[in-house]
Structure 1
Amino acid sequence: MTSTLAPAVAPLRLGPLTVDPAVVLAPMAGITNPAFRTLCREFGAGLYVCEMITTRALVERNERTLRMIRATPEEAAAGFSVQLYGVDPATVGRAVEMLVDEEVAGTRPAHVDLNFGCPVPKVTRKGGGSALPWRRVLFRDIVRAAVRAARDVPVTVKTRIGIDADHVTYLDAGRIAQDEGAAAITLHGRTADQLYSGTADWAPIARLVETVDIPVLGNGDVWEADDALRLVARTGCAGVVIGRGCLGRPWLFGDLAAAFAGEPRRALPTLREVAAVAYRHAQLLSEGQGELHGCTDFRKHVAWYLKGFSVGSDVRRALAMVSSLDELAGLLDRIEDQPYPAAVLGGPRGRTSSPRPVALPEGWLADRDDPRPPAGAELETSGG
């Protein structure tokens, strides 16, 4: 596949770190584990962020969290990126210190991102995630603590437009993040109450670019490499963050690398080629988790890999219950080769939802300058 849109996009600079192409993999719970990060890296380049790490769990040295945060040897060499969720400045600062000074990930991270974009009710009802920037003093204190603890490691921030249309926070968040020394800010073009519904609004990304001097990364509805080029062209953003668009399509990072280098080529793998990528994914999961657990974990990816292809329901069901690599190979071999289904290009992937009011702590909207961490908002486990 080729594209007529092929302007080059400059590398992204985050303090001492250069990201080329200017592409970042968004943390996704249960998805962006070492296997998936490795697979994506094999197709392209950029920053590949691990699953969201909870600062409380890290500080308390939760065993599962310590396992999740281990960098692969390739990441140790190329640069390991961590996203942290936290609501208490002291805990966030201590977690960053552990990453930077104790190297609990097995290497010093090249980059730390702070999550202020999660719209999930269990998070926002406690004042965390995309609800937290409304409390601008607390937001400032968290960013300040992270930047000071990180020293020469760049810290970035990810957020949404706001809680809803009446409670917009992204401009204040951008200014505060810049003032406190953040290296960049990512903006998802939806409010928290929109969850993942409708179409992302890229206009606020452009406004944020005009408002701050630090790099702004655009996020939301980048399904194809040409979507990324359009996002950069319309908003002036310095790069893109990719979430749902790469589900079942890790080769998207190769397309993005080509697009940002000004090259028109795009991948349209046949079903046989997709099957080979899927098997490689299951292999990587099995290497890290053991074959049974790895294949079980792989099951949720089946529908994404096969999206749009003509595959019988019996084979799909069997693939969604696969328990060994041999079984997976046998099932994939039964599928006849066919061209990539162009009809699914540019369409949404992964979770969708309907808008709904944001669950917030009682009185949360009353005082934007209340610096106190929300009671009970710290999560005990990582991953989202």
Structure 2
Amino acid sequence: MRIGQIQLKNPVILAPMAGVTDLPFRLLAKEMGCGLVYSEMVSDKGLIYENVHTRKMLAIDERERPVALQIFGSEPDSMAEAARIVARAGADIIDINMGCPTPKIVKNGEGAALMKKPELAYRIIATVVEAAGDVPVTVKFRKGWDEQSVNAVDIAKLAERAGAAAVSVHGRTREQFYSGQADWDIIRAVKQAVAIPVTGNGDIRTPQDAKRMLTETGCDGIMIGRGAQGNPWIFRQVARYLATGELLPPPALTERINMLLRHLDMLVEHKGEYIGIREMRSHAAWYTKGLPNSAELRLKFNQALSRDDFIRIMEEYCLSVDKNC
């Protein structure tokens, strides 16, 4: 799969997720064989006004390339300026968020709300493409605002006309958020409507899901979001299955625990212990979901205040379920 001048080693892509796809998580996904990683969405205004937290979200590690940095906003001029900032930060790809469903985003006319204003969406994409220079621009959007306004095909066509190098389609409406089943038919319809690469997103949790999406929709790449939470191994499993048909086994308990603790150390190093520990609580719950006594573990994670607390919790857990882990 190729996006502009960026050649991916495989079509398995990490979806942008707020509060999840920060630098440490992207590095782990890349190590597991992910072909392209996307950042959390970054506010255009936060970049322009030099918000310290927002600017830190642009941090890139050479080991994670190629990397796409995603921006969001609702004004062409400010999105263009944000694109210039992101390009200078070294992004390989700049992505425009037109799919976020959260109320605090859409009430400002951003994210999925832009699907209700195609003319504005076009102007934003066109100005970002111009501002980005040689950096390819992609656009991520949904099936539509609701079932009465399904317009993903129209948005894809205008994105292509505005100069986007590729698009990603989440097969749910904004009204659905993340509930129900993703509609892969709309991904196929978008693929048939445009000549630029199309990535499909929604309900990829196994290697077989990934293969089926590629087969049923004809899309060029598959984007994995929630299926990767606490499960960076999915990229290795999907890439291997698509390349060879081999189904790799799930990670053993020891591997899951070691990855959890490594992720913890990376977060603490990147964000400091106070923030890193609090953000790790959710990740730890995902890593241990489905394990024996996972509900009790989750309660303990939520009370952890330090790196040592996490280590103690996991040591005690190992002793209780498998003394060899």
Q: TM-score, normalised by structure 2?
A: 0.94
Letter in 2 for 1:244: R
CA offsets 1:262-304 (integer angstroms, 9 cap, x no match): 3413231122221111111101111112234322221112221
Partners of 2:86 and 2:94 within 8 A in 1: no
2:251 is the counterpart of 1:269: yes
CA 176–46 in structure 1, closer or farther in 2 if over 3 Å, else same: same
CA distance in 1, matches of 2:295, 2:241: 35
CA 150–204 in structure 1, closer or farther in 2 if over 3 Å, else same: same
Letter in 1 for 2:15: A
Partners of 2:233 and 2:251 within 8 A in 1: no
3-state DSSP of counterpart to 2:145? strand
Paired residue for 2:102, among 111, 120, 129?
120
Letter in 2 for 1:64: H
2:84 is the counterpart of 1:86: no
Which residue is 2:83 aligned to?
A: 96
CA distance in 2, matches of 1:271, 1:120: 35
CA distance in 2, matches of 1:319, 1:33: 20
Letter in 2 for 1:93: A
CA 211–313 in structure 1, closer or farther in 2 if over 3 Å, else same: closer
CA 137–236 in structure 1, closer or farther in 2 if over 3 Å, else same: same
Which residue is 2:205 aligned to?
A: 223
Paired residue for 2:31, among 24, 35, 42?
42
CA distance in 1, matches of 2:210, 2:100: 22
CA offsets 1:234-260 (integer angstroms, 9 cap, x no match): 000000111111011011111122123
Letter in 1 for 2:223: V
Aligned-pair CA distance for 1:313: 4.9
CA distance in 2, matches of 1:94, 1:293: 29
Letter in 1 for 2:264: A
1:1-384 matches, within 5 Å, as 12-75=1-64, 78-100=65-87, 103=88, 105=89, 108-311=90-293, 313-334=295-316, 335=318, 336-337=321-322
Which residue is 1:352 aligned to?
A: none
Letter in 2 for 1:74: R
CA distance in 2, matches of 1:254, 1:72: 20
Letter in 1 for 2:56: R
Partners of 1:28 and 1:51 within 8 A in 2: yes
3-state DSSP of counterpart to 2:40? coil
CA offsets 1:43-62 (integer angstroms, 9 cap, x no match): 11311111101111111211
Partners of 2:168 and 2:201 within 8 A in 1: yes
Aligned-pair CA distance for 1:314: 4.4
Q: Unaligned 5+ residue runs, structure 1?
A: 1-11, 339-384
CA offsets 1:22-71 (integer angstroms, 9 cap, x no match): 12211211111111111111211311111101111111211111111111
3-state DSSP of counterpart to 1:221? coil
**Cα root mean square deviation, aligned:** 1.7
Which residue is 1:375 aligned to?
A: none
Aligned residues: 320
CA 324–89 in structure 1, closer or farther in 2 if over 3 Å, else same: same
Partners of 2:273 and 2:306 within 8 A in 1: yes
Partners of 2:285 and 2:301 within 8 A in 1: no
3-state DSSP of counterpart to 1:141? helix
Q: Unaligned 5+ residue runs, structure 2?
A: none
Using CA pairs below 8 Å that are at least 6 residues apart, which structure has the higher relative contact order?
Answer: 1
CA distance in 1, matches of 2:175, 2:306: 40
CA distance in 2, matches of 1:290, 1:136: 41
Partners of 2:58 and 2:86 within 8 A in 1: no
3-state DSSP of counterpart to 2:79? helix
Aligned-pair CA distance for 1:86: 1.4
Percent of aligned positions with the same letter in both sequences? 38
Which residue is 1:349 aligned to?
A: none
Partners of 1:92 and 1:146 within 8 A in 2: yes
